[in-house]
Structure 1
Amino acid sequence: MPPPRQAPAARAAEAAPPPVVARPPARASDEQVQRQYERARAIALGLPIPVHARLPRDGASAEERKPAGPPPPWAYSGPGGPQAWARLRPEYQLCGSGQRQSPIHIEASAALQGPNEALGFDYRPSTGTVVHDGRTIRVEVQGENLLQVRGSSWRLESFDFQHPAEEVVDHKGFAMGVHLVHRNAQGQTAIVAVLLQPGAENPFIERVWTYIPLDAGDMVRMPLAWIDLSTLLPADQRYYQFFGSLTQPPCTEGVLWMVLKQPVTLSAAQLRLFAQLFPANARPVQALNGRIVRDAQ
């Protein structure tokens, strides 16, 4: 005899799954509690989270998650060398994007030939402070040393040395260079570059070398009237003239450059002393980018 037929409601009730009974949350094991404690303590103290206490979202250790340190200071080699200057600081961007950068390679055959506006040097015996800034020797000049050119009066503020010279003329380099940095009343900059080659001892260089500081960051004051910049200049003061930039960060453009054609000499011993301190502190030549170089004859 067939079983009695069940009502639909009874069949649905029979097929329904049993009700879910909520279970109390699982108690963390002593090991899990210890890991949570160690993780929280490390975060609070700024310490690396122990590997066994990390969560998947932690990823790298606290040490690895620290922000990157400051960029390396600008230099003439290594990570902070000329190829990286533009990336070191936002204010150095012109070092990479500028169109009138210095130094340049001067080719006499391509220069604009013309009459010579004589450079009006009025240099007098002065004193100054010799600074070793870790990249070069710079002399901050005190005194009224003036340059008259292009209808303006420019006051000498400082001069510094490069080894080798940053300027290249007709594919020829020079052993050292001196940049005489001037500014006028409008805050514009004019730099006279003096080229140096090995030869006879240079009395002006000898006076500066006498007061070279012993270490980077050190500075030494010269006696009164110790230096006379006019004794550094060559007898022939014809020059090349162009607009460029500072040759160190921030590579500011709009600088009036005058590169004296005739080199002056310094002795092998004088050159060797500087080279021991600064084996290479010159920026490579930069693209001309269609600039006019005037050959002031």
Structure 2
Amino acid sequence: MPKKKVITCIVTIAASCVLVLGACSSEDSTSKTKDTKTTQTTTKKTTEKTTLDWSYQGDTDPSHWGSIKKEYKISDTGKKQSPINIDTKKVKEDKTKATIEYKYQPTMFKVTRKDQTIQAIAQSAKGRQDSKVKVAGKEYVLKEINIHTPSEHQLDGKDFVAELQLKHVSSDNKTLIISVFVNQGEENQAIADIPSIVAKSKNGETTAMKQAVSTLGIIPSDDNKVFAYEGSFTTPATNEGVTWMVYETPITMSKQQLQDLKTKLNDNNRPVQALNNRQVMSN
């Protein structure tokens, strides 16, 4: 992969992804005759037990998140919610306010599936520094990767096949998420065995990766445009205070890699939210 240079983009840090696989059942009806009486017996096939109190479908879908419990109310009342549609014609260019410097290392992850969400949690390795980025003089450590199919953010109203969201946290607990769109194309070797782990995953269980993710390899080339804005997490409680940086140009994954992800994660995207008075910036 090409060596990443310092990427200039805009970041404003303000007041910081993962979801329910709807339970389904099917019925098998068998007839049993006993003492000339016919009894109809229905057997329900069990499915994975859900682990979250919210989901992407049914009575706990995104339109209901704010009313599930008081801790989620900001999903309805917040003014800086994510994701958003990025209208490139209304983006303000300003190259002076922030920079991103990548200090990424090949990183091992443990992958946990909860319903229709995946949390790939970065694992520290003895003798090797954590993957980090520096933004406006503040250092953030890569904590996890979340995956959505299709993408949550839109670009000029366009969805992408998938979206990788790389969550970083600073020493003062500020959250920065770098988002990368994905389209179908060449196989992505940098993502390692995450797709196959997702395809085989059982709900609520954690699997250790066998291969390290080339974290720098899943970031688009260093001359790529980045859009930055103030937003929120995209899953309950959707708390605000998250700085988002969204790359314009997507990376690719193979048809098989994307199919592996869709096996358990399909349609796990929150709809775009109102921009309200926010300004999207770019480098």
TM-score range normalised by the length of the shorter chain: 0.7 to 0.9
- Structure 1: any 5+ residue segments left out of the alignment? 1-71
Structure 1 residue 137 displacement after superposition: 2.0
Match of 2:202 in 1: 215
Q: Residue in 2 aligned with 1:253? A: 240
Matched, 1:170 2:163: no
1:87 is the counterpart of 2:67: yes
Q: Per the alignment, in what secondary structure is the counterpart of residue 183 of structure 1?
A: strand
Partners of 1:242 and 1:193 lie apart in 2 by 12
Post-superposition offset of 1:135 = 1.8
User: What is the correspondence of 1:62-141 to structure 2 with a 5 Å cutoff?
Assistant: 73-115=53-95, 117-141=98-122
What residue number does 1:192 align with? Answer: 178
The root-mean-square deviation of aligned C-alpha atoms, in Å, is 1.5
Deviation at 1:227, TM superposition (A): 1.7
Greater RCO (CA < 8 Å, at least 6 residues apart):
2
Note the C-alpha offset of 1:218.
1.1
Matched position secondary structure for 1:191: strand
Partner of 1:152: 138
Q: 1:279 to 1:210 in 2, by over 3 A?
A: closer
Partner of 2:193, secondary structure, is helix
Q: 1:138–1:160: 8 Å Cα contact kept in structure 2?
A: yes
Q: Match for residue 46 of structure 1?
A: none
Equivalent residue in structure 1 for 2:264, among 255, 274, 277: 277
- 2:69 is aligned with what amino acid? R
When you count helix as a share of all residues, which structure comes out higher? Answer: 1
Q: CA–CA distance in 2 between the matches of 1:230 and 1:113?
A: 25
Unaligned runs of at least 5 residues, structure 2: 1-51, 125-129
How far is 1:206 from its partner? 4.2
Judge conservation of contact 2:53–2:60 (CA < 8 Å) in 1. Answer: yes
What is the aligned length? 224
- CA offsets 1:214-270 (integer angstroms, 9 cap, x no match): 3111111124x7222111111134300000000000011010000011110011111
Q: Deviations over 1:60-117 (max 9, x none)?
A: xxxxxxxxxxxx8100111000000000011001000000000001011111112274
Q: Percent identity?
A: 29
Cα distance in 2 between the residues matched to 1:157 and 1:260 = 19
1:31-46 aligned within 5 A: none
Contact residue 159 and residue 181 of structure 1 kept, 8 A:
yes
**8 Å contact 1:137–1:161 — kept in the other structure?**
yes
Aligned with 1:226: secondary structure?
coil
Whether contact under 8 Å (2:195, 2:258) holds in the other structure is no
Contact 2:191–2:214 (CA under 8 A) maintained in structure 1: no
Structure 2 Cα separation of the partners of residues 126 and 113 of structure 1: 33
Secondary structure in 1 matching 2:197? coil
TM-aligned CA deviation for residue 118 of structure 1: 3.8
Contact 1:118–1:238 (Cα < 8 Å) also in 2: no
1:37 corresponds to = none
Q: Structure 2 counterpart of 1:85, which letter? A: W
Tell me which protein shows more strand as a share of its residues. Answer: 2
- The one-letter amino acid paired with 2:120 is V
- Output the CA distance in 1 between the equivalents of 2:164 and 2:201: 20
Structure 1: distance between partners of 2:191 and 2:101? 22
Letter in 2 for 1:173: D
